[in-house]
Structures are given as C-alpha cells and as structure tokens.
Amino acid sequence: MAIKQFIQFYVGDEVYVIGLTEIYQILKPQEIFKVPNTPPFIEGFLNLRGKVLTVFNLRERFNMPIREIDSDTRILIINYKDMLLGFIVDSVTEIIRVPEEEIVDVPDMLDNVNRRYLANVAKVDEKL
C-alpha cells in the first residue's frame, strides 16, 4: 500500500492539499513587487535568491474576499513545468499522509473552470 504525502493549506475556509514533491519552498510573507496592468489575481513578482517569479493571490483567483496578510499567511513556491511560481495562501497547517487508494479522480459534476485547479480528490478523516 503506497502512501502519498501532501502539504495541507487553507484559502478562506476551504482546505486544499498539494503533493509534497511539488513544493520547492514555503515562505513567510515578504516584499512582492506590484506590476501595473496585470490581472488582480497576480500579486506581483518576488525575487527568490536572484530568480524572479510570479506570485498569485489565490483569494483573488477564487473570487474570495480579500484578507490582510498576517502571521499565518504563507507563500507556497511550486515547481511547475520547470518554472517557479508563488501562491499566497492563508495558512499552511500540516503534512498529511494519504493511502494511494483513497485518491480518486475529480467528480464529473464540477465544471471545467473548477476542475482546472484540481488533479484529484482524497478522502481523509471522512472528509473530501
């Protein structure tokens, strides 16, 4: 029985996970350089040890009310197709372990817009 590890994080009241192997780094809030005339969900650019990467605000992207950055806020740095991308999330809570058989495809009832952000769904502690 294979076990997969995920980082659990929150955006609003919603809980999400991403594979531990997808995470490059988790940062505390730091200076982000705003870029004029970009969509509202693009927070700006971040200089990470000489690499400039785009930072996305997931609250804006998911049309959630804006929340001030606080001590729980984190920036998830993800390695996606050989690019580093940053995502502002409300908090990172824990590493969870999920048996591979508890991971299933995304239900068909979700529209294509929402399915675009989900790769799979997992049942953990009787929750999806």
What is the CATH classification number for the domain harbouring 97?
2.40.50.180
Q: What is the pLDDT of residue 103?
A: 60
Residue 116 has pLDDT above 50, yes or no: no
128 lies in some domain: no
Work out the percent of the chain whose per-residue pLDDT is above 70. Answer: 77
Q: What is the pLDDT of residue 28?
A: 96
Cα four-point dihedral sign 28, 29, 31, 33: positive
User: What Cα–Cα distance (Å) separates residue 53 from each residue in 44, 72, 88, 114?
Assistant: 8, 22, 13, 24
Three-state SS string across 78-91, please? EEECCEEEEEEECE
Q: What is the pLDDT of residue 80?
A: 85
The band of 53, judged by pLDDT with boundaries at 50, 70 and 90, is very high
The answer for 40, left when phi > 0, alpha when psi is -120 to 50, beta otherwise, is alpha
Instruction: Give the chain's domain count.
Output: 1
127 lies in some domain: no
84 lies in some domain: yes
| Average pLDDT of the segment spanning 73-98 | 92
Position of tokens 């982000």? 32
99 lies in some domain: yes
Q: What is the pLDDT of residue 128?
A: 44
60: DSSP letter: H
The whole domain housing 38 covers 3-122
Would you mind telling me the total number of residues written for the chain in this entry?
Answer: 128
pLDDT tens digit sequence for 22-45: 899 999 999 999 989 999 899 999
Cα four-point dihedral sign 41, 47, 48, 50: positive
| CA 20 to chain centroid | 11
Beta strand 51-57 with 83-89 is parallel
